[in-house]
Amino acid sequence: MSHNLPADLRYTKSHEWVRQNPDGTVTIGITDHAQHALGDIVFAETPEVGRELAAGDACAVVESVKAASDVYAPVAGRVVAGNGALGDAPEKINTDPYGDGWLWQLAPADAAALGGLLDAGGYEKVLAESAE
């Protein structure tokens, strides 16, 4: 199975993607694989602006017709923005997971932490293993 995995992003085993922005913040969402596995998304809740997150904190929720799933903070940091547009149009996560379907933005506590995340090739391996 081929996956839509932009090469400029970082990934986690728990299916989040991370984009580095020029201002030092990062944008976070769920991968194309994740949105596909979840099916039609009907609700999304993003973390409050200002909240301090530790890496691995369950801080957002994505609810589809199949299931409600936690989304985890890929790295530690302070939340600087949430994607308010998802309130009325959570389906953007399905239609444009790497664009309009972003979930929240974070000012990382330690920019170097991003280096510990997977690149597109590493994440593709994770997907291949889970598909056995």
Q: Which is nearer to other proteins, 49 or 58 (CB)?
A: 58
CB of 24 to other proteins, least distance (A): 29
Query: Checking DSSP bridges between strand 16-20 and strand 68-72, what pairing results, if any?
Result: unpaired
Which helix (H) or strand (E) segment holds residue 78: the answer is strand 77-82
Per-residue interface string for the shown chain with other proteins, residues 24-43, x marking contact by CB under 8 A: -------------x--x-xx
Angle at 102 between CA 125 and CA 127, to 5 degrees: 10
Which tokens is 69 given? 């799933």
**Choice from 4, 6, 48, 67 touching other proteins (CB under 8 A):** 67
Q: What is the rounded end-to-end Cα distance, in angstroms, of the chain? A: 11
Site for other proteins contains 131 (CB under 8 A): yes
Site for other proteins contains 58 (CB under 8 A): yes
Residues in contact with other proteins by CB under 8 A are 1, 37, 40, 42-43, 58, 65-67, 69, 91, 130-131
